[in-house]
Structure 1
Protein backbone atom coordinates (compact mmCIF):
# COMPACT_ATOMS: atom_id res chain seq x y z
CA UNK A 1 0.00 0.00 0.00
CA UNK A 2 1.04 3.62 -0.42
CA UNK A 3 0.21 6.86 1.32
CA UNK A 4 -1.28 9.22 -1.24
CA UNK A 5 0.04 12.76 -0.66
CA UNK A 6 -0.33 16.05 -2.50
CA UNK A 7 2.75 18.23 -2.87
CA UNK A 8 2.46 20.63 0.04
CA UNK A 9 1.74 17.81 2.48
CA UNK A 10 5.33 16.66 1.91
CA UNK A 11 6.24 19.76 3.92
CA UNK A 12 3.36 19.62 6.41
CA UNK A 13 4.25 16.13 7.57
CA UNK A 14 7.70 17.34 8.62
CA UNK A 15 6.35 19.29 11.57
CA UNK A 16 3.06 17.53 12.36
CA UNK A 17 2.79 17.38 16.15
CA UNK A 18 -0.84 16.36 16.44
CA UNK A 19 -2.73 19.58 15.81
CA UNK A 20 -5.32 19.88 13.07
CA UNK A 21 -8.52 21.40 11.75
CA UNK A 22 -10.96 18.98 13.39
CA UNK A 23 -10.73 15.94 15.69
CA UNK A 24 -11.40 13.58 12.76
CA UNK A 25 -8.72 15.32 10.66
CA UNK A 26 -6.20 15.00 13.50
CA UNK A 27 -7.06 11.34 14.16
CA UNK A 28 -6.63 10.56 10.48
CA UNK A 29 -3.33 12.46 10.31
CA UNK A 30 -2.03 10.42 13.26
CA UNK A 31 -2.78 7.29 11.22
CA UNK A 32 -1.01 8.69 8.16
CA UNK A 33 1.99 9.64 10.31
CA UNK A 34 2.15 6.09 11.68
CA UNK A 35 2.01 4.63 8.16
CA UNK A 36 4.82 6.93 6.99
CA UNK A 37 6.91 6.15 10.07
CA UNK A 38 6.50 2.44 9.33
CA UNK A 39 8.10 3.01 5.92
CA UNK A 40 5.02 2.96 3.71
CA UNK A 41 5.86 4.57 0.33
CA UNK A 42 4.41 7.94 -0.68
CA UNK A 43 2.63 8.31 -4.00
CA UNK A 44 2.37 11.91 -5.20
CA UNK A 45 -1.16 12.87 -6.27
CA UNK A 46 -2.92 15.97 -7.55
CA UNK A 47 -5.74 17.28 -5.41
CA UNK A 48 -7.12 15.80 -2.20
CA UNK A 49 -5.08 13.02 -0.65
CA UNK A 50 -5.07 10.70 2.36
CA UNK A 51 -4.55 13.64 4.74
CA UNK A 52 -7.42 15.65 3.21
CA UNK A 53 -9.91 12.77 3.40
CA UNK A 54 -11.75 13.83 6.60
CA UNK A 55 -12.18 17.39 5.31
CA UNK A 56 -13.85 16.53 2.01
CA UNK A 57 -17.45 17.67 2.03
CA UNK A 58 -16.94 20.22 4.82
CA UNK A 59 -17.65 23.88 4.07
CA UNK A 60 -14.25 24.99 5.42
CA UNK A 61 -12.31 22.48 3.31
CA UNK A 62 -9.84 24.18 1.01
CA UNK A 63 -8.68 21.01 -0.75
CA UNK A 64 -9.88 22.13 -4.18
CA UNK A 65 -8.82 25.80 -4.03
CA UNK A 66 -6.48 27.04 -6.77
CA UNK A 67 -4.09 28.52 -4.21
CA UNK A 68 -3.66 25.07 -2.64
CA UNK A 69 -2.79 23.56 -6.03
CA UNK A 70 -0.22 26.35 -6.40
CA UNK A 71 1.23 25.43 -2.99
CA UNK A 72 1.46 21.83 -4.16
CA UNK A 73 3.47 22.85 -7.24
CA UNK A 74 5.86 25.07 -5.25
CA UNK A 75 6.37 22.39 -2.60
CA UNK A 76 7.02 19.64 -5.15
CA UNK A 77 9.54 21.80 -6.96
CA UNK A 78 11.39 22.63 -3.73
CA UNK A 79 11.41 19.04 -2.47
CA UNK A 80 12.47 17.67 -5.86
CA UNK A 81 15.35 20.13 -6.09
CA UNK A 82 16.52 19.41 -2.56
CA UNK A 83 16.40 15.64 -3.00
CA UNK A 84 17.67 15.67 -6.59
CA UNK A 85 14.57 13.90 -7.87
CA UNK A 86 11.88 14.44 -10.47
CA UNK A 87 8.54 14.51 -8.64
CA UNK A 88 5.03 14.76 -10.02
CA UNK A 89 1.73 12.93 -9.90
CA UNK A 90 2.41 9.20 -9.86
CA UNK A 91 5.93 9.53 -8.45
CA UNK A 92 6.70 7.23 -5.54
CA UNK A 93 9.00 8.29 -2.73
CA UNK A 94 10.26 6.47 0.36
CA UNK A 95 10.68 8.82 3.29
CA UNK A 96 13.73 7.24 4.86
CA UNK A 97 15.52 8.77 7.82
CA UNK A 98 18.13 10.54 5.69
CA UNK A 99 15.53 12.20 3.45
CA UNK A 100 13.43 13.19 6.44
CA UNK A 101 16.42 14.82 8.11
CA UNK A 102 17.39 16.61 4.87
CA UNK A 103 13.86 17.92 4.47
CA UNK A 104 13.59 19.00 8.10
CA UNK A 105 16.93 20.77 7.89
CA UNK A 106 15.79 22.65 4.79
CA UNK A 107 12.46 23.52 6.43
CA UNK A 108 14.27 24.88 9.49
CA UNK A 109 16.52 27.00 7.25
CA UNK A 110 13.51 28.17 5.22
CA UNK A 111 14.86 26.94 1.90
CA UNK A 112 11.80 24.81 1.06
CA UNK A 113 9.12 27.09 2.51
CA UNK A 114 7.97 28.94 -0.63
CA UNK A 115 4.79 26.84 -0.49
CA UNK A 116 4.14 27.97 3.08
CA UNK A 117 3.28 31.57 2.19
CA UNK A 118 -0.11 32.50 3.65
CA UNK A 119 -0.52 29.13 5.39
CA UNK A 120 -2.24 29.43 8.74
CA UNK A 121 -0.03 26.67 10.15
CA UNK A 122 3.26 28.36 9.23
CA UNK A 123 3.86 29.82 12.73
CA UNK A 124 3.40 26.37 14.26
CA UNK A 125 5.81 24.82 11.75
CA UNK A 126 8.33 27.55 12.48
CA UNK A 127 8.07 26.88 16.22
CA UNK A 128 8.40 23.09 15.77
CA UNK A 129 11.46 23.57 13.54
CA UNK A 130 13.01 26.04 16.00
CA UNK A 131 12.52 23.44 18.76
CA UNK A 132 14.40 20.80 16.75
CA UNK A 133 11.19 19.00 15.65
CA UNK A 134 10.60 17.78 19.19
CA UNK A 135 7.21 16.08 19.26
CA UNK A 136 6.99 15.68 15.48
CA UNK A 137 5.11 12.45 14.85
CA UNK A 138 6.56 11.30 11.52
CA UNK A 139 9.75 9.28 11.84
CA UNK A 140 11.85 8.23 8.88
CA UNK A 141 12.09 4.65 7.79
CA UNK A 142 15.57 3.16 8.16
CA UNK A 143 17.90 4.31 5.39
CA UNK A 144 18.66 1.40 3.04
Structure 2
Protein backbone atom coordinates (compact mmCIF):
# COMPACT_ATOMS: atom_id res chain seq x y z
CA UNK A 1 0.00 0.00 0.00
CA UNK A 2 1.11 3.62 -0.50
CA UNK A 3 0.05 7.06 0.67
CA UNK A 4 -1.11 9.52 -2.01
CA UNK A 5 0.65 12.88 -1.56
CA UNK A 6 0.56 15.98 -3.77
CA UNK A 7 3.93 17.71 -4.29
CA UNK A 8 3.42 20.78 -2.10
CA UNK A 9 2.39 18.56 0.81
CA UNK A 10 5.92 17.15 0.79
CA UNK A 11 6.95 20.63 1.94
CA UNK A 12 4.22 20.81 4.57
CA UNK A 13 5.21 17.46 6.02
CA UNK A 14 8.79 18.45 6.83
CA UNK A 15 7.49 20.89 9.47
CA UNK A 16 4.41 19.04 10.76
CA UNK A 17 3.99 19.51 14.52
CA UNK A 18 0.42 18.30 14.91
CA UNK A 19 -1.39 21.50 13.94
CA UNK A 20 -3.92 21.90 11.14
CA UNK A 21 -7.23 23.21 9.89
CA UNK A 22 -9.61 21.02 11.93
CA UNK A 23 -9.36 18.20 14.50
CA UNK A 24 -10.30 15.66 11.80
CA UNK A 25 -7.60 17.06 9.52
CA UNK A 26 -4.98 16.80 12.29
CA UNK A 27 -6.03 13.23 13.19
CA UNK A 28 -5.77 12.18 9.54
CA UNK A 29 -2.44 13.99 9.09
CA UNK A 30 -0.97 12.33 12.18
CA UNK A 31 -2.10 8.91 10.96
CA UNK A 32 -0.48 9.53 7.57
CA UNK A 33 2.77 10.72 9.15
CA UNK A 34 2.84 7.57 11.28
CA UNK A 35 2.38 5.43 8.16
CA UNK A 36 5.34 7.22 6.55
CA UNK A 37 7.38 6.83 9.73
CA UNK A 38 6.65 3.10 9.48
CA UNK A 39 8.17 3.08 5.97
CA UNK A 40 5.05 3.09 3.80
CA UNK A 41 5.81 4.52 0.33
CA UNK A 42 4.49 7.80 -1.02
CA UNK A 43 2.79 7.95 -4.41
CA UNK A 44 2.80 11.43 -5.88
CA UNK A 45 -0.56 12.53 -7.24
CA UNK A 46 -2.10 15.52 -8.98
CA UNK A 47 -4.93 17.13 -7.09
CA UNK A 48 -6.41 16.16 -3.73
CA UNK A 49 -4.44 13.55 -1.82
CA UNK A 50 -4.71 11.57 1.41
CA UNK A 51 -4.10 14.72 3.50
CA UNK A 52 -6.95 16.54 1.75
CA UNK A 53 -9.59 13.87 2.43
CA UNK A 54 -11.10 15.34 5.65
CA UNK A 55 -11.42 18.76 3.99
CA UNK A 56 -13.01 17.83 0.67
CA UNK A 57 -16.61 18.29 1.82
CA UNK A 58 -15.94 21.43 3.88
CA UNK A 59 -17.37 24.73 2.60
CA UNK A 60 -14.64 26.76 0.94
CA UNK A 61 -12.31 23.77 0.57
CA UNK A 62 -9.26 24.96 -1.36
CA UNK A 63 -7.88 21.52 -2.31
CA UNK A 64 -9.14 21.67 -5.91
CA UNK A 65 -8.28 25.34 -6.56
CA UNK A 66 -5.95 26.29 -9.40
CA UNK A 67 -3.80 28.22 -6.91
CA UNK A 68 -3.14 24.96 -5.05
CA UNK A 69 -2.27 23.19 -8.30
CA UNK A 70 0.17 26.08 -8.92
CA UNK A 71 1.72 25.36 -5.51
CA UNK A 72 2.10 21.73 -6.53
CA UNK A 73 3.82 22.60 -9.81
CA UNK A 74 6.18 25.00 -8.06
CA UNK A 75 7.00 22.54 -5.30
CA UNK A 76 7.57 19.70 -7.78
CA UNK A 77 10.01 21.78 -9.84
CA UNK A 78 12.03 22.92 -6.83
CA UNK A 79 12.06 19.50 -5.14
CA UNK A 80 13.18 17.91 -8.43
CA UNK A 81 16.22 20.20 -8.46
CA UNK A 82 17.13 19.21 -4.90
CA UNK A 83 16.66 15.48 -5.55
CA UNK A 84 18.07 15.46 -9.05
CA UNK A 85 15.10 13.57 -10.49
CA UNK A 86 11.64 14.23 -11.88
CA UNK A 87 8.92 14.80 -9.32
CA UNK A 88 5.68 13.91 -11.05
CA UNK A 89 2.40 12.10 -10.60
CA UNK A 90 2.85 8.35 -10.33
CA UNK A 91 6.32 8.48 -8.76
CA UNK A 92 6.58 6.05 -5.88
CA UNK A 93 9.27 6.38 -3.18
CA UNK A 94 9.95 5.87 0.50
CA UNK A 95 10.63 9.02 2.47
CA UNK A 96 13.62 7.83 4.50
CA UNK A 97 15.80 9.88 6.86
CA UNK A 98 18.30 10.75 4.12
CA UNK A 99 15.63 12.12 1.79
CA UNK A 100 13.91 13.96 4.64
CA UNK A 101 17.25 15.49 5.62
CA UNK A 102 17.79 16.75 2.05
CA UNK A 103 14.31 18.27 2.00
CA UNK A 104 14.71 19.90 5.41
CA UNK A 105 18.11 21.36 4.51
CA UNK A 106 16.68 22.85 1.29
CA UNK A 107 13.59 24.08 3.16
CA UNK A 108 15.72 25.78 5.83
CA UNK A 109 17.85 27.45 3.11
CA UNK A 110 14.67 28.62 1.39
CA UNK A 111 15.47 26.93 -1.91
CA UNK A 112 12.17 24.99 -1.99
CA UNK A 113 9.84 27.60 -0.49
CA UNK A 114 8.32 29.31 -3.56
CA UNK A 115 5.20 27.17 -3.19
CA UNK A 116 4.86 28.45 0.40
CA UNK A 117 4.37 32.07 -0.67
CA UNK A 118 1.02 33.33 0.56
CA UNK A 119 0.31 30.23 2.66
CA UNK A 120 -1.31 30.93 6.03
CA UNK A 121 1.14 28.48 7.67
CA UNK A 122 4.29 30.08 6.20
CA UNK A 123 5.29 32.00 9.34
CA UNK A 124 4.88 28.95 11.58
CA UNK A 125 6.84 26.73 9.19
CA UNK A 126 9.65 29.30 8.97
CA UNK A 127 9.82 29.38 12.77
CA UNK A 128 10.00 25.57 12.87
CA UNK A 129 12.84 25.53 10.32
CA UNK A 130 14.76 28.15 12.34
CA UNK A 131 14.28 25.90 15.37
CA UNK A 132 15.96 23.05 13.43
CA UNK A 133 12.67 21.13 13.01
CA UNK A 134 12.58 20.21 16.71
CA UNK A 135 9.43 18.37 17.70
CA UNK A 136 8.36 17.56 14.15
CA UNK A 137 6.39 14.35 13.88
CA UNK A 138 7.93 13.07 10.65
CA UNK A 139 10.88 10.84 11.56
CA UNK A 140 11.02 7.94 9.08
CA UNK A 141 13.29 4.91 9.36
CA UNK A 142 16.86 4.90 8.01
Structural RMSD (CA): 0.7
Matches within 5 A, 1:1-144: 1-142=1-142
How many Å separate the matches in 1 of 2:14 and 2:76? 14
Matched positions, count = 142
Identify the range of structure 1 (10-19 vs 87-96) with the bigger mean alpha-carbon deviation. 87-96
TM-score, normalised by the number of residues in structure 1: 0.96
How many Å separate the matches in 2 of 1:130 and 1:103? 14
Contact 1:4 1:44 (C-alpha < 8 Å) held by counterparts: yes
Gaps of 5+ in 1: none
Deviation at 1:87, TM superposition (A): 1.5
Deviation at 1:19, TM superposition (A): 0.3
Deviation at 1:140, TM superposition (A): 2.5
Gaps of 5+ in 2: none
Deviating beyond 3 angstroms after TM superposition, the runs of 4 or more aligned structure 1 residues are: none
Contact 1:4 1:49 (C-alpha < 8 Å) held by counterparts: yes
TM-score, normalised by the number of residues in structure 2: 0.98
CA deviations 1:3-29 (Å, max 9, x no partner) are: 100010010000000000000000000
